[in-house]
C-alpha cells in the first residue's frame, strides 16, 4: 500500500509545483504517467490477479506461428497474434508487460490531454477510483480500451469510420469491446427528457430483477457457453444473489458536482470540448455506466462490462468547469477520493489483487 500512497502524494505535489508553468498540462501529465508506468511496468508478476496468467500464456505460445492462430485459443486472435509476433523477438515476459503498460498509460494520458478541462482531477480520478489498479489486472481489456480512447478525440471531430475501425481492432484484443459501438448512438442523442428517462428506469427494473434468468436462458441456448454455465453454477452466479458494487459509490462521488448544475448540464451543453458544439453524450454515457454498475450487483460479469465506460469518469470535470483547469471542486475530489482509495486498498475491494504491491526486481 505504501507505494500507492507515495504515488498519490507525488501526484499532488507535482501539480502544485508545475501548475503555473507555461505548458503545465503537458508537463504534469508526462510526469504523472511516467510515475504510473514505472509502477505498472516493473511490478512483480504476483501483482494483479491475472498477471501470472498472461505471463504464462505468453511463454506457452512462444513456439507458435501466426498460421496456427484459431478461435479456439486462450484469448482473442488479435492478442494471440500480437504475443506470438513479440515472442519471436523476445520471450522475456517483462518486455511484454513494459510494452503493454506504456501503451495503456500513455493512451490514457493522451485521452485526458485532448478531452479534459481539468487534467489534474482527471488524473486523480483515474488513480483514486482504482482504474489504474484494475488495469494492472485486466491487461488485455485495457489494451482494447486504450485503442478506442486513442481515437475518441477524432470521433468527436466526426471521423466515425476511423473510430469504428478502432473498435473492430480493439475487439480482436477483447471481444466485449463491441460495447463501444454504442458511442455513435449516444452521440446522436441530442436530448433526453424526464419522461424518456423515467421510461428507461422503469424498463430497467425487471431487467435488474430477472437478469440471472435472462443470462441463464442465453447460455443454455448457445452451445459454446456450456463450460461457462458450469462455472457460473459453481460460483453461485445463477442464483441471483444481490450484491452492492463498490464502484457505485465512486461513481456517485465523481458525479456529485454535476447535481449542482443538473438542469443546465443535462441538456445540450458544451461539456466535452471548447469549440461551441453541442454534446450531451457525456451525460448519456454516465447514465449507461450507472446501469452497468448496478447490474454488476446482480451478475458479476458486468464488472468487466462497466470498465469499458469508467474511463469517461475522468471527464467529469467537464460537467462543471466553466473554463479550462477550473479548480472549483479540486479539494472535494482530493479528499473524498483519497478516502475511498485508502478504504479499497485496506479492504482489497475493487483492487483485483494489486493492493499488496512489490517491485519485480
- 273 confidence band (pLDDT: 50, 70, 90): very low
Identify the weakest region by mean pLDDT among 93-102, 122-131, 222-231, 259-268. 259-268
| Tens of pLDDT, residues 346-355 | 888 888 899 9
Average pLDDT over residues 263-275: 42
More confident residue, 55 or 281: 55
Identify the weakest region by mean pLDDT among 130-134, 208-212, 249-253, 258-262. 258-262
Residue 290 reports pLDDT greater than 90: no
Write down the pLDDT at residue 250: 79
More confident residue, 167 or 287: 167
Residue 185 reports pLDDT greater than 70: yes
Average pLDDT over residues 38-67: 92
Write down the pLDDT at residue 233: 66
More confident residue, 287 or 242: 287
- As to burial, measured by CB atoms within 10 angstroms (0-12 exposed, 13-18 middle, 19+ buried), residue 227 is exposed
Identify the weakest region by mean pLDDT among 111-120, 144-153, 194-203, 232-241. 232-241
CA distance 236 to 250: 26
52: Cβ contacts below 8 Å, ≥ 6 apart: 45, 46
Mean pLDDT of the chain: 84
259: Cβ contacts below 8 Å, ≥ 6 apart: none
Amino acid at each position: 500500500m505504501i507505494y500507492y500512497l507515495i504515488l498519490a502524494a507525488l501526484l499532488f505535489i507535482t501539480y502544485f509545483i508545475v501548475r503555473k508553468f507555461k505548458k503545465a498540462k503537458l508537463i504534469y501529465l508526462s510526469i504523472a504517467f511516467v510515475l504510473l508506468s514505472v509502477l505498472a511496468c516493473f511490478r512483480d508478476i504476483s501483482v494483479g490477479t491475472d498477471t501470472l496468467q498472461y505471463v504464462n500464456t505468453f511463454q506457452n505460445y512462444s513456439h507458435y506461428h501466426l498460421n496456427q492462430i484459431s478461435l479456439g485459443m486462450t484469448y482473442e486472435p488479435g492478442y494471440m497474434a500480437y504475443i506470438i509476433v513479440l515472442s519471436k523477438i523476445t520471450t522475456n515476459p517483462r518486455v511484454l508487460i513494459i510494452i503493454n503498460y506504456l501503451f495503456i498509460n500513455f493512451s490514457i494520458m493522451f485521452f485526458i490531454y485532448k478531452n479534459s478541462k481539468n487534467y489534474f482531477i482527471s488524473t486523480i480520478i483515474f488513480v483514486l477510483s482504482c482504474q489504474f489498479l484494475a488495469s494492472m489486472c485486466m491487461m488485455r481489456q485495457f489494451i482494447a480500451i486504450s485503442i478506442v480512447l486513442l481515437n475518441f478525440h477524432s470521433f468527436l471531430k466526426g471521423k466515425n469510420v476511423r473510430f469504428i475501425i478502432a473498435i473492430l481492432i480493439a475487439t480482436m484484443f477483447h471481444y466485449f469491446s463491441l460495447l463501444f459501438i454504442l458511442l455513435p448512438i449516444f452521440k446522436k442523442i441530442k436530448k433526453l427528457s424526464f419522461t424518456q428517462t423515467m421510461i428507461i428506469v422503469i424498463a430497467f427494473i425487471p431487467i435488474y430483477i430477472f437478469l440471472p434468468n435472462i443470462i441463464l436462458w442465453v447460455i443454455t441456448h448457445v452451445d459454446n457457453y456450456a463450460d461457462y454455465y458450469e462455472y457460473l453454477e459453481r460460483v453461485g452466479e445463477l442464483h441471483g444473489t444481490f450484491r452492492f458494487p463498490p464502484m457505485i459509490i465512486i461513481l456517485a462521488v465523481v458525479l456529485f458536482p454535476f447535481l449542482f448544475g443538473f438542469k443546465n448540464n443535462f441538456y445540450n451543453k458544451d461539456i466535452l470540448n471548447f469549440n461551441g458544439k453541442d454534446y450531451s453524450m457525456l451525460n448519456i454515457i454516465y447514465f449507461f455506466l450507472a446501469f452497468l454498475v448496478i447490474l454488476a450487483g446482480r451478475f458479476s460479469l458486468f464488472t468487466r462490462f462497466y470498465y469499458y465506460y469508467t474511463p469517461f469518469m475522468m471527464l467529469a470535470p467537464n460537467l462543471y468547469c466553466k473554463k479550462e483547469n477550473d479548480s472549483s471542486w479540486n479539494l472535494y475530489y482530493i479528499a473524498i477520493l483519497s478516502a475511498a482509495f485508502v478504504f479499497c486498498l485496506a479492504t482489497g475491494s475493487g483492487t483485483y489483487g494489486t493492493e499488496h504491491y512489490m517491485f519485480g526486481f
